Chains A and B, each alone.
Chain A
């Protein structure tokens, strides 16, 4: 029996950047100083956005496409290896 109306099942599909390139929200950018980093991975643990991974050189690497610039990583880093730098206009 046809209902005569289209039936839409609203199922969303998993995707990175589901809300767009959230890196554009950033006012300050976290920058890792590898000389100070002790690879404790606390920045990774506490990053709400899950944008920190291990880079090819074994140090934390930040995905700036999605990093929202909250600064939590810099706040929890025990050696102050992460600096928050103002984004250019």
Chain B
């Protein structure tokens, strides 16, 4: 069954308006939609990130579900413990890590890998704004090649880690990419993950207007173009089988890059190089889609 806008409108979410999030925040949009699908029987674990701040200052919180703030590297380990504690109490609860890219691909990767290997019964979500935003736009292991950040003033020279594939290599039951530009695809992936058992991982491309220097009103558009230019392919790997879930609308990569000042000043050759890398990855995915199992 695929979720429609009417299904989503019926479900209450766990986000309350009037938070400390920047206007046009993609991470907030991702949480709003995901929490509607996950429902009220959900406990969140959040490591240090923008999402710690989005909750807003003590003693109030913009999140209406139970949420545990924890040290940067410890989210997946904490979630493992939280799930087991509920289990001992005889309660079946969705335990969800809601972490940034820095907290996932760099600082939290050890605990994440351990939890994936042990097959912990949790959903790990990485909302990916492609840098350490909460501390003022430093590069992370998820920052794209050639992107400006304060610690890559001439553009990042390294490739980002392919985190969804790293997690998939643990042979967990479910791995998916998502984008805030494709909210139905995102919602349906949460719906699927929620119904499965074991370690599940969803990696969401989340626009960050102040960090990417993109127009505040273009949060959805940037995240749509990321998919439609092949920059951020949407796929899922269910029990080892890969399926591409959204066919890109074949837009030139330039349209995506032009909306964000973090890619300003790239030469035509650099854009061509990026295009080549992006298409190589896409063709690789098409190839993987034909395999019985990718891992």
Binding site for B on A (CB under 8 A): 10-22, 25, 40-42, 44-51, 63, 65-72, 74-76, 84
Contact = CB atoms under 8 A, between A and B. Distances in A.
Interface in B1-40: 5, 8-9, 13, 15-21, 23-26, 28-29, 32-33
A13 B59 contact: yes
Contact of B28 (A49, A66, A74): A49
Interface of B: 5, 8-9, 13, 15-21, 23-26, 28-29, 32-33, 55-64, 183, 216-221
A69 B18 contact: no
Given A12-B55, A17-B18, A72-B220, A48 B61 contact: no
Given A15-B61, A70-B217, A51 B17 contact: yes
Given A13-B60, A14-B62, A46-B219, 10 more contacts: A10-B58, A14-B16, A15-B16, A18-B56, A20-B18, A45-B5, A45-B183, A48-B21, A66-B17, A72-B217
A47 B55 CA distance: 17
Contacts of B216: 70-72
Contacts of A84: 217
Given A45-B5, A45-B183, A75-B218, A19 B23 contact: no
Contacts of B221: 75-76
A8 B183 CA distance: 40
Nearest to A16: B16
Given A25-B23, A69-B23, A12 B32 contact: no
A42 B218 CA distance: 14
